[in-house]
Amino acid sequence: MTVRQLSVPELVDACGRLGVRHVGLWREPVRSHGLEATAKLVRDAGLAVSTLCRGGFLTAVDPGERAGALADNRRAIDEAATLGTDTLVLVSGGLPPGSRDLRGARERVADALADLGPYAASHGVRLAVEPLHPMFAADRCVVSTLAQALDLAERFPAHQVGVAVDTYHVWWDDTAPAQIARAGAAGRIHTFQLADWTTPLPEGVLNGRGQLGDGSIDLRAWKDHVEAAGYTGPIEVELFNDGLWARDGREVLAETASRFLEHAA
Amino acid sequence: MTVRQLSVPELVDACGRLGVRHVGLWREPVRSHGLEATAKLVRDAGLAVSTLCRGGFLTAVDPGERAGALADNRRAIDEAATLGTDTLVLVSGGLPPGSRDLRGARERVADALADLGPYAASHGVRLAVEPLHPMFAADRCVVSTLAQALDLAERFPAHQVGVAVDTYHVWWDDTAPAQIARAGAAGRIHTFQLADWTTPLPEGVLNGRGQLGDGSIDLRAWKDHVEAAGYTGPIEVELFNDGLWARDGREVLAETASRFLEHAA
């Protein structure tokens, strides 16, 4: 998504030229290019898919909506397996329209994980519950902290459900380093993502994720936390940013790789 | 600030007509009308000042800036005493330009409280450290949760330093009810403020506080939490909202009083 202006073939080519060996893919561009075609393309290029984003949106009350969401998540698990990644990132979903019941919504996420966890594991895929910044609690993700995400994940085996640690969402939280240690000790850090925090936030606050080094987050300190907790997997850079999307995608990818080396490596 | 389109005399008159007996004032409109004149006006109207907003912005590193901030906060304490309120609300301030050190900034807030707490107490004023929503951590307030605010406050006597509980800032936090109980047991809930959470958030996210009942927060549940913790003081409604500010102030005040009765009383 950092360079969504690139097609899947352009992305794979650009990663090859820059020496990037892992890529996190989103479902929509994969669908546009074709699932099997994408799987073949990345495999033939020697590129590994770190995670698939994203499943989730599991907070509906309506039985038909819930069944639809579960079916869609099973498709996402199938897609992850086809792409050869072991990790599907889940964004829980927000409050249903008119609801003020955060606790109930979080319980419905747990109910869905009980359904999806075994299905995922049987396909060699782990679910990564991603806590999103509390500013998304109403409309996008009722799971706002690593502690909440781990409280959910720990109801299930680690090979079924873990968490996604994203600097953008946790950087303000002084309890997050201890939660990262808790997650690492249980083998539940299923992916680690970087973005910087820049202000002012744009309207709707979704597309304000900052380029590495442009903001307030001590990225290297967070990388040290997850590595101290035992994380050895790929590190993803996920930037939703209208300014970056308006630029040449190859240039943005090269800049991002350079910023990674400067601020996190 | 909910009806900042009203002058201080208009506000006092409108409160009288609606039977509102407490008002939270901000320093700027008080200064515009005159400190002594405002104090006399509210006193003669039988209106009590619940809190003065706001002091704070205590995170600067530069010695000259720090001295200036402390001097300004002492003036704010003097103003609170003159207005007859026992509570000054503090917004801690964000990261200094270029800094990524949240922990250091929070420690500088503690250092400032050690200076200001005794001065405030000697004037009959308590400081209320207000945790702001984590979306303000970089640019406005490095204190993001009630737990952090209490960790700061508990270094000092409760008659010097407590906390402000604002539904808008804490509603997403599943640990906040326990922190409210912690604060209440120590006599540290120095004010309680209501606003609702509405989306999408506006650019800059400051002026998106929702009218009571328009959003996702179970306001009555939070009122129950603070009252169960022993809070018996006035309840403030603080809405920064461009839409409300564009309307007739008396009409907004009447609507707010009505919404309070419907959603929180």
Averaged over B50-60, what is the pLDDT?
Answer: 97
Write out chain A residues lying below 8 Å of B100, CB-based: 216-218
Alpha carbon distances (Å) from A246 to A240, A250, B112, B204: 11, 12, 44, 21
One CATH from 1.10.600.10, 3.20.20.150, 1.10.3720.10, 3.40.50.1100 for A8-263:
3.20.20.150
Residue of A nearest to B222 (CA): A100
- Amino acid present at B66: R
Residue B48's pLDDT band, with cuts at 50, 70 and 90, is: very high
Closest CA to B195 of B179, B174, B214: B214
What secondary structure does DSSP assign to A92-118, as a single string? -B-PPTT---HHHHHHHHHHHHHHHHH
* pLDDT number for residue B235: 98
Instruction: Using an 8 Å CB-CB cutoff, list chain B residues near A133.
Output: 134-135
pLDDT over 90 for what percent of chain A?
Answer: 100
The complex's ipTM? 0.96
Chain B, nearest residue to A138 by Cα: B216
Write the pLDDT tens digit of every residue in A54-82: 999 999 999 999 999 999 999 999 999 99
Compare all CA atoms of chain A with the CA of B216 and give the residue at the minimum distance.
A100
Per-residue pLDDT, B87? 98
Mean pLDDT of chain B: 98
User: What's the pLDDT at A100?
Assistant: 98
SS3 (DSSP) at A189: strand
A125-139 residue pLDDT tens: 999 999 999 999 999
Q: Does the distance separating the beta carbons of A216 and B174 come in below 8 Å?
A: no
**Residue A199: its chain B contacts at CB < 8 A?**
138-139
CB contact under 8 A, A138 and B205: no
The string of pLDDT tens digits covering residues A99-112 is: 999 999 999 999 99
Contact list in B for residue A175 (CB cut-off 8 A) is 147
B246/chain A closest Cα distance in angstroms: 19
pLDDT in tens, A187-223: 999 999 999 999 999 999 999 999 999 999 999 999 9
| Three-class DSSP category at B166 | strand
**What's the pLDDT score for residue B208?**
95
**B47: distance to nearest CA of chain A, Å?**
34
B204 vs A204: CB contact, 8 Å cut-off? Answer: no
pTM: 0.97
With beta carbons less than 8 A apart as the criterion, state whether A254 and A17 touch: no
So what CATH class is B8-260? Answer: alpha beta
Please tell me which residue of chain A has the smallest CA distance to B104. A174
Q: Which amino acid would we find at residue B110?
A: A
Q: Are A100 and B217 in contact (CB under 8 A)?
A: yes
**Best residue in B99, B135, B145, B206 for a mutation probing chain A (most A CBs within 10 Å):** B135
Q: What is the pLDDT of residue A70?
A: 98
Residues of chain A with a CB closer than 8 angstroms to some CB in chain B: 95, 99-103, 106, 133-135, 137-139, 144-145, 147-148, 171-175, 197, 199-205, 215-218
**Token pair listed for A29:** 């561009």
**Peptide bond just before A54 cis, omega within 30 deg:** yes
Output the pLDDT for position A253. Answer: 98
pLDDT in tens, A5-25: 999 999 999 999 999 999 999
d(CA A189, CA A150): 10
Which chain B residues are closer than 8 Å to A218 by Cβ?
100-101
Would you place residue A90 in the very low, low, confident or very high pLDDT band (cuts 50, 70, 90)? very high
Beta strand pairing call for B196-197 and B209-210: antiparallel
Shortest CB distance from B216 goes to which of A100, A200, A203?
A100
Q: Which of A173, A205, A214 best tests the B interface by mutation, with the highest count of B CBs <10 A?
A: A205
Tens-place pLDDT, residues B203-262: 999 999 999 999 999 999 999 999 999 999 999 999 999 999 999 999 999 999 999 999
pLDDT band, very low/low/confident/very high, at A256 (cuts 50, 70, 90): very high
- C-alpha count within 13 angstroms, C-beta hemisphere, residue B189: 28
Tell me the pLDDT band of A246, cut-offs 50, 70 and 90.
Answer: very high
Residues B145-194: tens digit of each pLDDT = 999 999 999 999 999 999 999 999 999 999 999 999 999 999 999 999 99
Predicted confidence at residue A156, as pLDDT, reads 98
CA-based nearest residue to A54, from A72, A36, A32, A34 = A72
CA atoms within 13 A on the CB side of A11: 23
Does B102 contact A215 at a Cβ distance shorter than 8 Å? no
Verify whether the Cβ–Cβ distance A201 to B200 is below 8 Å.
Answer: no
Q: Could you say which of A95, A137, A200 has the minimum Cβ distance to residue B203?
A: A200
Q: How many residues does chain A have?
A: 265
Written as six digits, the tokens of B159 are 């008659």
